[in-house]
Amino acid sequence: MREINKNLFKKVKLDDVAEKAGVSKTTVSRVLNNRGYISVKTREKVHEAMELLNYQPNEIARSLFINKTFIIGLIFPSTSNPFYGQLIFHLENISESLGYKVLLCNSQGREDKERDYLRMLQRHQVDGIIAGAHNRGIEEYNNSRLPLVAIDRYLSESIPVVSSDNYDGGKKATELLLKKGCKHIIHINGSPELETPANLRRKAYEDVMEKNLLTPCTYVNEDNAIETIFDENPHVDGIFASDDLIASDVMREAKKRNISIPDELKVVGYDGAEITRRLVPELSTIQQPVKEIAELAIKLLVSQINGENISKNEWNLPVKLMEGKTT
């Protein structure tokens, strides 16, 4: 009895199909991959046998032989973030349409985790990696001979980076606040030590401010940054936050302090993810072309996988100002 069960549970393989169809496993493989000449009669027999046994090819064995897994590794801080969640959704989607699967890695912004994931993905023989995590200084990115694409992060000189046009986004945001009459505009951004293209949002803000003979003032988004801003700048009348979550926090704090938006304070965010737009549509924001970023990233990765050379290392995709009621 146990013997029978054991056999029932055993996965069916090429040999089993071959036996059932009365041919060799080479023939079955040929039918499976549509290669070489096969007589119609044989093909039918084999297909029948496959149906009958509910045969599923073992991709692991195939991968080992052809030395390719059709798996792409994704390393991002967290699927829980609206922007990354949406980006990952599109990356997976497009991958799937091209026959690739994705292995998901949440690095949580931790360099050690990112390093471990990178090694894991290599051991798993992924065909390439798309990373939107953490900072450079992970030398493994250079050592690995793997096709790589970075999203909004500089990983190393030779790795292509796909971003929204951060400079233009920062410019659009700042100019909007100015146009609406703001005189004391403050910018909130991540740590300037992370060498990300997102720093260009800050750069643009500072350039625009100076061009208008105003003093730029950037706060790093750390504990209590928002309260500090209001405490230290009673006259602030415009805030450009480097992402929508922070912008939303700003709106909340303003409400708490009875500062009315947009009359006394105007706020602009960045990202414009689907979910944020739905939950906080009143927030003015600079929307990243998430789907286009995903498409380009995959395209650049697959090109590399196919051995093509990438002509350019930095790609900035156009952003869109979404004006709500906070400006």
Task: List the beta bridge partners of residue 187.
Answer: 218, 240
Binding flag, residue 98, its own copies (CB under 8 A): no
- Tell me which residue of 19, 88, 20, 13 sits closest to 57, measured CA to CA: 13
| Cα(84)–Cα(109) distance, integer angstroms | 13
Q: Name which of 263, 264, 271 is nearest 322 in CA terms.
A: 271
Query: Are 201 and 190 a contacting pair, CB within 8 Å?
Result: no
Site for its own copies in 117-156 (CB under 8 A): 119-120, 122-125, 143, 145
Q: Should residue 26 be labelled a site residue for its own copies when binding is judged by CB under 8 A?
A: no
- Please say which residue, 15 or 232, places its beta carbon nearer to DNA: 15
Other CB atoms within 10 A of residue 70 CB: 16
Nearer to DNA, 28 or 251 (CB): 28
Residues that bind DNA (CB under 7 A): 11, 13-15, 22-27, 29-30, 32-33, 35-39, 41-42, 55, 57-58, 61-62, 64-67
Among 49, 26, 22, CA closest to 38: 26
Q: State the minimum distance, in angstroms, from the CB of residue 322 to its own copies.
A: 16
- Which of DNA, its own copies, none is residue 220 near (CB under 5 to 8 Å by kind)? none
Candidate list 92, 114, 127, 168; residue touching its own copies; CB under 8 A: 92
Q: Does 93 bind its own copies (CB under 8 A)?
A: yes
Q: Which two tokens stand for residue 279?
A: 């939950």
Give the shortest CB-34-to-its own copies separation in angstroms. 17
Pick one of 175, 207, 249, 292: the residue that binds its own copies (CB under 8 A).
249
How many Cβ atoms sit within 10 Å of the Cβ of residue 238? 23
Binding site partner of 9, from DNA, its own copies, none, Cβ cut-off 5-8 A by kind: its own copies
Stretch that binds its own copies, among 78-86, 156-164, 224-232, 307-315 (CB under 8 A): 78-86
Gap between the Cα atoms of 318 and 168, Å rounded: 8
159/322 Cα distance (integer angstroms): 31
Would you say 132 or 200 has its CB closer to its own copies? 132
- Residue 325 makes CB contacts below 8 A (sequence gap 6+) with 261, 262, 282, 284
Residue 63 in the binding site for its own copies (CB under 8 A)? yes
Task: Report the nearest approach of its own copies to the CB of residue 178 (Å).
Answer: 27
CA-wise closest residue to 45 among 66, 65, 18, 68: 18
Cα 279 from chain centre: 21
Residues that bind its own copies (CB under 8 A): 9, 54, 56-61, 63-64, 69, 71, 74, 78-82, 85-86, 88-89, 92-93, 96, 101-106, 108, 119-120, 122-125, 143, 145, 245, 248-249, 252, 273-276, 278-281
